[in-house]
A and B are shown apart, each in its own frame.
Chain A
Amino acid sequence: MFERGKKDDVLNDATDGRSTVAQRSHVPASTSYAGQRGECAVIGQSIQINGDLRGNEDLRIEGDVSGTVELKNSNLTIGKAGKVRADVYAKSIAVDGTTEGDLYASERVVVHVNAQVRGNITAPKVGIEEGARFKGSIEMDPDAVEKALGKVNMQRNTKADSEPQRARPTETRPAASKTVARDLASNSNPPAGAA
């Protein structure tokens, strides 16, 4: 279930309706994922996550994520099946699916054809392909980007100080993907239609 595998294996698992959270995926260099070269974690199509998602490795979301996504030093791809209702912070963000919330990237945001983005984008470089749907504001001032990303760091630290008893949010770590998968699964809502 949580074995390392190729991208195709992950997609096959997803079509079988089995959990595919945080599996390793080999993404070909020719694909347009957000700066990914080689492995990345994948949240599969049948997975729903409600809450804070943090990590330090590249991630591709094909499932349904609500809350906050923080991958400050890593790349995030929201795949064609991905639905994200969250404010997203990452090094770079590529959107093929649907997002509702603000996107913050220290390097770039790319909105691919057929993607739908509702919310604001803050990044020094932004690309929007013809056919993509976007309505909102785009902040490209590097100082404003830095300020926005710094502000969320401060908010997170303040929140952590004021809520010491609260359970740690979900984190993805490169060296412990099996544990990560279990953590993510336990924090996830059951898939739509599940009992």
Chain B
Amino acid sequence: MGRATARAARDTPEALNAPLFRQLAERFDETQRHVVLDLGAASTPMLSLLGRSPSRVEIADLAAGAVIERLNAAAPGDELDALAESSLPGHDGSEPVDLVFCWDLPNYLAPRAASALMWAIAARARAGALAHALVVYAERGMPERPGRYVPGDDNRLVDRGVRAGEIAAPRYSPEAFGQLMHPFTVDRVRLLANGMQEYLLCLKP
């Protein structure tokens, strides 16, 4: 392999087989309507996937504009609750959210910020709503900024995020992560090939 080819191979993000995400993706081949809250940035591949069924997608793009930093710095209580609510896109309440894509954002939120955010999400979600998340588990470090995940071939996940520096990963155990994401509860967990744990959580009535 030539040097240029090797560099290209290293720079091309590897597609990640995430079975729980794939199962969710397959739901969008049906005609049923979904109301989706995406905490990440909008992307054409994701919208193409969600647009296969008559969906409504709410984009929060928490990684933009220092929202994460503001949430982590907010004083607990009313200030944090209000900030968590305002960091989500406007919601008229006519249709509750039934699916939430958290991606790897919970790794970057302080526990109290993550909790406030999940309570704000729960307030606009229906009972039985599902949430999908990726948690750094095997590695001690993680990229400085959240990833930018998009579905690729066969609904494998590709991280198009810019990898600059590295910071320590919180490496939540399933129990700790379950507490963090309350009132959503852990439904299923898978260990992925890249050392992340993939979670599917459910909002119990």
Contact = CB atoms under 8 A, between A and B. Distances in A.
A133 interface: yes
Interface stretch (A7-15, A88-96, A135-143, A163-171): A135-143
Contacts of A134: 41-42, 59, 61
Interface in A91-144: 111, 120, 124-130, 132-144
A125 B39 CA distance: 20
Nearest to A132: B42
A49 B143 CA distance: 45
B44 A135 contact: no
A134 B42 CA distance: 7
Contacts of B60: 135
A140 B54 CA distance: 6
Nearest to B67: A135
Contact of A141 (B47, B55, B64, B91): B55
A137 B90 contact: yes
A138 B54 contact: no
Interface string B23-56: 0000000000100000001111001001100111
A3 to B, nearest CB: 39
Secondary structure class of chain B's binding surface, majority of residues: loop
B43 A130 contact: yes
Given A135-B89, A137-B89, A140-B51, A128 B43 contact: yes
Nearest to A127: B44
A169 B57 CA distance: 34
A129 B44 contact: yes
Interface in A22-47: none
B160 interface: yes
A129 B43 CA distance: 6
Interface of A: 111, 120, 124-130, 132-144
Interface of B: 33, 41-44, 47, 50-51, 54-61, 64, 89-91, 148, 160
